[in-house]
Structure 1
Amino acid sequence: MVEKAKNDAKDSDKGKGKDGAPGAVWFREPQRRRRSPGLSRERIVATAVDRLDREGVDGLSLRKIAADLDAHATSLYWHVPTKGDVLDLAIDEVFAEISLPDDHRALDWREVVLAYMRELRAMLLRHPWAASLAGTRPLAGPHALERSEAVYAALTRAGFAGPVLAATAAAVSNLVIATASTQAAWAERAEAGSRDALRGLITERHELYPTLAAHLEDFLGDWDTQFEIAARTLVKGLAAQRTEGQA
């Protein structure tokens, strides 16, 4: 399977232009890197993360990273051949910020899953660009795989197996990625003004949206409370499914 993934990545990379195939950097054979004073893959990735935090994916290019490093763009290609490689390396770099309890293998699986969900959300809100990449690019780097291993291990201890295990792990991550993406999208606008406008719209047209109008403040509740309720509800539902022997 790994060999096939490597070959597929090489083949797809040929037809994907300058960005390469998503995740190809993890399957491609490492290339020999030319020595460049003061330049390394680690510095390039750190600079890319900083630029992504400031300008998002649309503001990222190898030329801009080179300018930030006071280097020539061609010298970057010896370390990161494509923009796609940079994106994959950057998303894995920020996954390293997700901490799990040192004794997570001995903890109750629910504690581990909730801790992961909270940490993943906090990371995605610190790096708003990461939520869209986490949902569209393979998370095949060492930091992401280490976190996936911890979540899978916790869910396996809980008794989940087979396709249900994979679906359960996906539900855990997808809930966080979706809610963080929504919050990040609102934050790009003047959120207070948008909330006021939506409140006014629903209030004015309450005949059309009577249930939303009746629960308006809950509908427009704060992000942290809504996320915590959603995360706990999901884990509680998973626990119930496991107890009922459906997993």
Structure 2
Amino acid sequence: MASAGSPKSAAAKKRRPRDSLSRAVIIAAAEKIAERDGLEGLTFGALGKELNAHSTSIYRHFRDKDDLVLELIDGLRAKSYGGDLVSTGDWREDLRLIARLIHEHYLRYAGLAMQMAARTTRRPTEFHNVEFALDALRRAGLDDDEAVVTTRVFGNFVRAASALEASLQVLPEQTRMMDELAWTVEYRRLPAEEYPNIARLADKLLPLGDPRLFTHAVEMLLDAIAARAEAKQSDQSDD
């Protein structure tokens, strides 16, 4: 039997009481690990070490790692903008709002952005996002079929573009600098006879991370949504 002063005995004394764990406590520790080590490093073993608890005790609160990850992703959304997604009454402004909030969220958690973008959490913040977008698109004048397709198109674009921009932020500084420099140096050196359009516009080319790109793309989508709604209404009036 281990003596009172042995390392094993000391570790046992420090072990967190079983009933002191909760979903909120576990999620807080999971966020800390994920931001430090990525979702790959978020294991129940790592959580147990972070919480000073036996890893098996986490199964009392989460079915498996994926259950935990989905809860974490939805929780981070709520933490970023959960109370800010309130309708303005203008469908364009509402879609601008949700696009901006999601974009800022992905940049805030840049190291997790690519993995978050691909997941469907089926949890409250996601449900609210979808309801908010559908309501805006119905007010834009889209019918049900157009609204559900456009909700997916708009959401996929916002997440993909935001995740791409976030992924640039987490590149090694030297790599990111060289990529950005290419647009202002290497493109300008291309021969005009082979690349006439690039040569003519080289001084105007924008790097991938230019913040104007996201805003411009959102406005293009809003214009396309309005045009489709008008075309649909025109078709109906002609019938």
User: What is the TM-score with the length of structure 2 in the denominator?
Assistant: 0.78
Match of 2:36 among 48, 54, 57: 54
Please name the residue that 2:66 is paired with.
84
> Does structure 2 conserve the Cα–Cα contact (< 8 Å) formed by 1:100 and 1:112?
no
Please name the residue that 2:81 is paired with.
98
Inter-CA distance 123–102: structure 2 relative to 1 (3 Å threshold) = closer
Structure 1 range deviating more: 132-141 or 70-79: 132-141
Looking at secondary structure, tell me which structure has more helix per residue: 2
Please name the residue that 2:181 is paired with.
196
Match of 2:114 among 132, 140, 144: 132
Please name the residue that 1:179 is paired with.
161
- Structure 1: 5+ residue stretches without partners: 1-34
Q: Between Structure 1 and Structure 2, whose CA radius of gyration is higher?
A: 2
> C-alpha distance in 2, partners of 1:213/1:57?
43
Please name the residue that 2:190 is paired with.
205
Please name the residue that 2:3 is paired with.
none
Q: In percent, how many aligned pairs have the same letter?
A: 25
Inter-CA distance 53–102: structure 2 relative to 1 (3 Å threshold) = closer
**Offset of residue 135 of structure 1:** 3.5
Please name the residue that 1:73 is paired with.
55
Output one character per residue of 1:173-209: Cα deviation in whole Å (capped at 9) or x when no partner: 1121111121122222222232114544323334554
Match of 1:170 among 152, 173, 198: 152
Please tell me the root mean square deviation across aligned C-alpha atoms, in Å.
2.4
User: What is the TM-score with the length of structure 1 in the denominator?
Assistant: 0.76
- Report the count of equivalent residues: 212
- Structure 2: 5+ residue stretches without partners: 1-16
Structure 1 range deviating more: 197-206 or 69-78: 197-206
SS at match of 1:77: helix
- Give the counterpart letter for 1:214 in structure 2: R
Does 2:49 correspond to 1:42? no
Does 2:129 correspond to 1:147? yes
**Offset of residue 235 of structure 1:** 0.8
Please name the residue that 1:215 is paired with.
201
> Does structure 1 conserve the Cα–Cα contact (< 8 Å) formed by 2:33 and 2:41?
yes
**Offset of residue 121 of structure 1:** 0.5
Output one character per residue of 1:70-109: Cα deviation in whole Å (capped at 9) or x when no partner: 21111111111311111111111112122565751x6111
Inter-CA distance 36–117: structure 2 relative to 1 (3 Å threshold) = same
